[in-house]
Chains A and B, each alone.
Chain A
């Protein structure tokens, strides 16, 4: 089994794309089994991290993997890696986790869509390059920034919740996340 903390290499990621395409094209069970062996245990960890008890996490991970089979034909490797695609399916099940863990989804109290801003939207289409660069950039981030990005983007904590959890001022959370995000973004804009 692969050690925790490591992301997939580029050839491995490509291999997983092939597997998912095989599931879509030929209902290939062997390919599916390989995907299941890799993703199901990680999904379970992710769901536990969100607050699900191990039993529910197992059930939801199962369910996400069944959805992976059913929706395989919607996967498009030019848009996202298999991990990003599966993450999206899992994340859409979060609401179930919250219902069980009694943690509310956040309301859009403030308009999320701002009419104007200083930061230009990222209009790149080169999704696969982005997947590579994201992983490279993650390795270079200082631990304090990485852990905050993880709490915000992966676990979905608000800035206030992160400040409380790590016992640092709200302003520090905001500035570190901004710094990390800008750094990641500039990495993607390079080359």
Chain B
């Protein structure tokens, strides 16, 4: 696991892909969160685009466009309200630490809770897939104080951003804003700090390959 101290530093093309929304959606969410957690303002690209939107030549909308928008606002979106009721309301977690996460991530978490919901992945660890795109997944994990995660190796690259609390493995300890990187050569067993739950945002390629007993269970369950 490599500890990434500074940055992140983006190359020009990646920066533009992220700003324009062309980048992989899971990667974009991860990078946005990383910026938020580290208080880094890498939003020049978005500001540029905001200014370019202002300079855009207006294209006439239908005459009733505003009326339709207002109607959509009034009718609390029929299909959506039904969809919102269907998945268990209990999907929304009230963990007090959630408000310490960056607001944009909180927003994404609330949306993901309506869609998929949190899953128990063993050892008291809860996981919520926030965004999946082209084999890359961004998920938030909540690890109880002192919990040992299953020993695992990686099928692809994995970036883990510590959001709240802390964790350590054989190579070091990580606190809020710290980013670690692992690839298929790394087998490790991170352990959450004792003094509170740890929240991380993990970005994985093609899923984790678990080596312990839990790995077999996970494979069996198709998790």
Contacts and interface: CB of A to CB of B under 8 A. Distances in A.
Given A105-B23, A114-B10, A58 B44 contact: no
Contacts of A70: 73
Given A62-B72, A119-B9, A188-B44, A108 B56 contact: no
A83 B65 contact: no
Given A29-B70, A152-B13, A106 B8 contact: no
Contacts of A42: 53-54, 56-59
Contacts of B23: 105-106, 108, 112
Interface stretch (B34-42, B89-97, B209-217): B34-42
Interface in B43-93: 43-62, 65-66, 68-70, 72-73
A78 B165 CA distance: 27
B121 interface: no
A138 B54 CA distance: 12
A117 B52 contact: no
Contacts of A7: 51, 54-55
Contacts, number: 233
Contact of A184 (B48, B61, B69, B134): B48
A155 B16 CA distance: 9
By secondary structure, the A interface counts as helix
Contact of B39 (A2, A123, A184): A123
Interface stretch (B24-32, B122-130, B147-155, B191-199): B24-32
Give the bracket for the number of chain A residues in contact with chain B: 35 or more
Contacts of A74: 103-104, 107
A121 B40 contact: yes
B61 A111 contact: no
B171 interface: no
A166 interface: no
B56 A153 contact: no
Given A87-B46, A152-B16, A43 B53 contact: yes
Contact of A135 (B34, B40, B51): B51
B7 interface: yes
Given A7-B54, A113-B34, 17 more contacts: A32-B70, A36-B69, A41-B59, A48-B59, A58-B65, A84-B46, A84-B47, A86-B50, A112-B23, A112-B27, A113-B4, A113-B8, A114-B9, A125-B39, A152-B13, A153-B52, A181-B12
Instruction: Please provide the 7 A-B residue pairs with the shortest distance between their CB atoms, ordered closest to farther.
Output: A117-B9, A156-B20, A84-B50, A156-B22, A91-B21, A41-B58, A4-B57
Interface of B: 2, 4, 6-25, 27, 31, 34, 38-62, 65-66, 68-70, 72-73, 103-104, 107, 133-134, 136, 157, 159, 179, 181
21 contacts: A1-B58, A29-B70, A36-B66, A40-B65, A40-B69, A42-B53, A66-B73, A74-B103, A80-B43, A80-B46, A81-B50, A84-B50, A91-B19, A106-B23, A112-B18, A116-B9, A124-B41, A125-B39, A153-B20, A154-B20, A156-B16
